[in-house]
Each structure stands twice: as structure tokens, then as C-alpha cells.
Amino acid sequence: MITQVANRIATASIVNDDPEAAAQEAIRELTDQLGAPPSIVVVVFSADFSAQAIRDGIYRELPASSVLVGCSSYAELGPDGALTHSVTALGLQLPGYQARALSTQGGADSFAIGKSLGEGLLHPKPDLLLLFPDVLTLNVTRLLRGLQSQLGTELPILGGAPADNGQFRQTEMLCGQHIQQSGAVALALFGPLSISSAACSGYTPVSVPLRATSVENGNVLLELNGKRALSVYLDLLGPRRNEMPAVTIEYPIGVIRRSSGKTEVLTDLVRAVFGIDEHRGALILGGDIPSHAELCILSATRSDLLSGTRAAIDSILSAPKDPKDSKDPSAASELVLIFNCMSRKVILGPRYKEEASILHSLIDRKTPRFGFYTFGELSPVQSVTQHHESTFTVAEVRFSRAT
């Protein structure tokens, strides 16, 4: 006799000044919701907390055999919306699915690191990879390319870059009992699932198109229109140049695409200005840009950003569902994952919780949701996973019921 076993998904957000107690309480809450300790846990925690305290709190409640990955964040997204200073956990019981936590250290050759990580996942290939790569010790764009060189571009990879409190100094990651401050951690899931995902920034151009005439290593923008990129950028900032470098968060770089006589700014490919090299007059971007790309400076009001959020959510809601799920909706368990850039929280200020409210208003509140504010996002767009920045990414993951 074949029996169907239900997938169970739970999320919990705990605010507590004691990180160990918060982590322990989060696992207790997941256990209460699931009726048993989760077999897979993904945790995101405030960068105010030490990863060690989080790990200790978790393993006080969780069997050692459980699969655990996690990272520090700028703010957390869970069942109670957007929170700071919290431990937010996702607990999964997916009978019939396999899960594997893996990690890698940072290094100079991000492509090679990604390739090596991908090689370890070839047999068998996962159906979903949740990836948390540290943008401070890795070039995430190249890490992703390395992974895709082995696993293909169409393997859905979701996730975000661990964050700190906006200092860009150090992040922390958890992979089982192991704690690391560089590299990446990932959770590979093996089993039948379908994904709808979207990424949208909401930014609009505030400059004329500028040709990237000199770029080094993919992300060091040396020249725009043949002039030093930094001075072009500062000129365009006008009087707000006095607020450098903090103001860069409000003015990321957009990529322009021209095809069939149409010109459009890609809403999902935005690059944040992570730093400047005054000596060389260069802008250091958070991710790579296409070679000889046509770029522009972007800006957004708070309402623009919220429109971007709505557009991304609308996009996944209007996406065609997997026919298997449509036939028997009860046979699938859904999870909404959100990876949202920390710059959006900074710009939205007191209105940052409105993004979560939009999510609540559009997606059934009973559907578990989990995510965090990142230093960079990973999400498929038109079936190809890309590295995003300054972007709201959302994905609906549907797990089919295992038999």
C-alpha cells in the first residue's frame, strides 16, 4: 500500500536579547508547529548576535542529525513580517526528499570556488540550491558562474549574501555545527518541486546612458564614456556628492539593454556601489557588469521601491503553475522565500515594513514565509539564476507530496 506523507513547513521569528535563548526558542516553536523537531533548518539571525550562540541554542533543541544552514543578516523576514534583532528560522519536514548542507571557504578565484562547489553536486544534481555566499570574501557573480558551469544555468538557485549591520566588515555563516566568516554555505534539496520566482528593483534612471569604457575584473568600473568613473559619478550626484560614500546606497548603477530598437533599463540587474578607489578614480561594484555595457545612474523614491516589490510579487502570482500542482493543489506544500537588499531597508526607513505588508496582502498568510535583508540576492529570472543587488526577490517553492 502506498501512503502519502505530508510535507510540513514552519517558520518562527524570536526577538530576544539573549541569542542562545532566542535560537532555542525558535526551534521549540518550529517543533511545536511541526509536531516534531524539523529535519532541515535554515536560520537567519541579526548580525548583533554571535553565530556560536545561535548554533548552541539550536543544537540544544535539535538532534545532531538535522541539516542546518544559516547566516547573519541585516534584518529578518518571517511569519511576523520584517524584524530586526531576531532569530528567524525555517523548519522543514520533507519525507522523501534528501537534503545536504555544504560549505566552502572564500578565496581569490571565486569562479574556481563555485566550480568546485558545483562538482560536488553533480551526482545527483539537486533540484534546488539555497545559497548564502559572503560578498565580502567572494565575487558572487563569478561564484555563481562557476557553479553554473557545472550544474547549468537553469538549476534554480535562491538565496542571499549574508549581511552585517551595514558596516560591510564581517558576516557569519553556519553549516551544521561549523561556523565560518568567509566563503559560502548552501543547502541542496533533492526531490520534486516547482518554483516561481521574480526580481524587481523599482529604480529608475536619473542619468543619460554612459558607456563602461574601462572595467577591471568585472566589477571595478574605471571609466565611463572615457572619463574617470568616480568623477562622472560625483558630477552626476551634484550637491549630494558631499554625502559620499553613504549616499551611494541611494544611487546604484543600472544596466541598459537595447534590442530591436527598444531601450530599457533592466529592472532586475542593478549593481550597488560597494566602494570607491579615489586613487584610480574607480567605482567598485558589488557584482560584475557585462563588458562594454551601457550603464546609467539609478535612483528611487520610497514609493518606487514599494512598486518594485509589488511588481515582483505580482509576477510570481501570475506565473503559470506546474500542471501537477494545479491538478491536486492539496498535494503540494508551499513556501515563500524572500531575499531583499539591505539598501532598500535603508531607503525605505520607517516604511520598510510595508514591503512585508504588501506580501501579506497578496499572498495567503497561511503560506509560510522566510527570508532576510541581504548584501546581494540570487534568484532565477526567466529560468536563469542571476546575481542581483538593490533588488527585491521573491520565490514561491512548491514541494510535491512524497509517496
Partner 1 sequence: MRCERCCLEDPASESLDLDSYCRKITACTECPLQQGTATISRDVLIGNIRRLTESARQNRQQQNRIRQLERAQQELTEDIQRSDERVAKLEQTQKATTHAADEQLRAQLERLSAQQAAIMALATPIIQVWDGVLVLPLIGELDEERMQALTESLLSALQERRARLAVLDLTGVPTLNQSSAQHLYRIATAVRLLGAEALLCGLRSQVVQTVTSLGVDLSSLATTRSLQDALRRCIFPSRELPRV
Where does this chain bind partner 1 (CB under 8 A)?
13-16, 25, 28-29, 32, 80, 83-86, 238-240, 242-243, 349-350, 352
Closer residue to partner 1, CB minimum distance, 241 or 292: 241
The pairing of strands 98-104 and 40-46 is: unpaired
SS3 233: helix
DSSP category for residue 195: E
Those residues whose C-beta lies under 8 Å from the C-beta of residue 315, and which sit 6 or more positions away, are: 198, 200
What is the nearest approach in angstroms of partner 1 to the Cβ of residue 58?
16
Cβ atoms within 10 Å of 103's Cβ, excluding its own: 18
* The residue type at 66: S
Closer residue to partner 1, CB minimum distance, 24 or 39: 24
Closer residue to partner 1, CB minimum distance, 70 or 79: 79
Q: What is the grid cell recorded at 199?
A: 526580481
Instruction: Classify residue 172 by burial, with Cβ atoms within 10 Å: 0-12, 13-18, 19+.
Output: buried
Length of the chain measured in residues: 403
Closer residue to partner 1, CB minimum distance, 12 or 173: 12
Closer residue to partner 1, CB minimum distance, 29 or 288: 29
Angle at 60 between CA 57 and CA 65, to 5 degrees: 115
What is the nearest approach in angstroms of partner 1 to the Cβ of residue 89?
13
Cβ atoms within 10 Å of 276's Cβ, excluding its own: 19
What is the nearest approach in angstroms of partner 1 to the Cβ of residue 371?
17
d(CA 147, CA 120): 10
What is the nearest approach in angstroms of partner 1 to the Cβ of residue 12?
9
Closer residue to partner 1, CB minimum distance, 6 or 247: 247
d(CA 214, CA 211): 9
What is the nearest approach in angstroms of partner 1 to the Cβ of residue 345?
10
Closer residue to partner 1, CB minimum distance, 124 or 349: 349
> What's the half-sphere exposure (Cβ side, CA atoms, 13 Å) at 372?
36
Cβ atoms within 10 Å of 21's Cβ, excluding its own: 15
Closer residue to partner 1, CB minimum distance, 76 or 268: 76
What is the nearest approach in angstroms of partner 1 to the Cβ of residue 373?
13
Contact 348, 302 (CB under 8 A): yes
